[in-house]
Amino acid sequence: MTELGDGTRCVHAGLADPVPGTPLLASPVFGTGYHLGHPSYGYGRADNPTWRALEEAIGSLDGGECVVFPSGMAAISAVLRTCEGRLVLPSDGYFVTRSYVQSELPWLEVVEVPTAGPWPSFDGVGLVLLETPSNPGLDVCDITALAAEAHAAGALLAVDNTTATPLGQRPLQLGADFAVASDTKALAGHSDVVLGHVTCSDPALAARIRESRTFSGSVPGPFETWLAHRGLGTLDLRLARQAANASAVYKVLSSAPGVTGLRWPGAPEDPSHALAARQMRRFGGVLTFCLPSAAHVDRFLAASSLVTGATSFGGLHSTADRRAQWGDPVPEGLVRLSAGCEDTEDLVADIRTALSTLDT
Candidates 170, 185, 322, 323; catalytic one: 185
In the complex, the smallest distance separating the C-beta of residue 180 from ligand PLP, rounded to whole angstroms, is: 8
Rg of the chain on CA atoms, in Å: 20
Residue with the shortest CB distance to ligand PLP:
72
In the complex, the smallest distance separating the C-beta of residue 102 from ligand PLP, rounded to whole angstroms, is: 16
Binder of ligand PLP out of 48, 77, 162, 201 (CB under 6 A):
162
Bridge partners for 89 per DSSP:
112
45 is catalytic: yes
135 is a site residue for ligand PLP (CB under 6 A): yes
What's the CA dihedral at 60, 66, 72, 77 to 10 degrees? -150
185 is catalytic: yes
233 is a site residue for ligand PLP (CB under 6 A): no
Range in contact with ligand PLP (rule: CB under 6 A) among 70-78, 248-256, 298-306, 317-325: 70-78
In the complex, the smallest distance separating the C-beta of residue 190 from ligand PLP, rounded to whole angstroms, is: 14
321 is a site residue for ligand PLP (CB under 6 A): no
Range in contact with ligand PLP (rule: CB under 6 A) among 68-76, 239-247, 273-281, 349-357: 68-76
199 is a site residue for ligand PLP (CB under 6 A): no
Range in contact with ligand PLP (rule: CB under 6 A) among 67-75, 255-263, 273-281, 340-348: 67-75
In the complex, the smallest distance separating the C-beta of residue 283 from ligand PLP, rounded to whole angstroms, is: 16
CB–CB of 174/144 below 8 Å? yes
Please say which residue, 195 or 206, places its beta carbon nearer to ligand PLP.
Answer: 195
133 is a site residue for ligand PLP (CB under 6 A): no
Please say which residue, 75 or 146, places its beta carbon nearer to ligand PLP.
Answer: 75
Please say which residue, 163 or 304, places its beta carbon nearer to ligand PLP.
Answer: 163
In the complex, the smallest distance separating the C-beta of residue 112 from ligand PLP, rounded to whole angstroms, is: 15
> How many of the chain's residues bind ligand PLP (CB under 6 A)?
13
In the complex, the smallest distance separating the C-beta of residue 12 from ligand PLP, rounded to whole angstroms, is: 25
196 is a site residue for ligand PLP (CB under 6 A): yes
Please give, one letter per residue, the 3-state secondary structure of the chain: CCCCCHHHHHHHCCCCCCCCCCCCCCCCCCCCECCCCCCCCCECCCCCHHHHHHHHHHHHHHCCEEEEECCHHHHHHHHHCCCCCEEEEECCCCHHHHHHHHHHCCCCCEEEECCCCCCCCCCCEEEEEEECCCCCCCCCCCHHHHHHHHHHCCCEEEEECCCCHHHHCCCCCCCCCEEEEECCCCCCCCCCCCCEEEEECCHHHHHHHHHHHHHHCCCCCHHHHHHHHHHHCCHHHHHHHHHHHHHHHHHHHHCCCCCEEEECCCCCCCCCHHHHHHHCCCCCCEEEEECCCHHHHHHHHHHCCCCEECCCCCCCCCEEEEHHHHCCCCCCCEEEEECCCCCHHHHHHHHHHHHHCCCC
160 is a site residue for ligand PLP (CB under 6 A): yes
77 is a site residue for ligand PLP (CB under 6 A): no
Q: Active-site residues: which are they? A: 45, 94, 160, 185
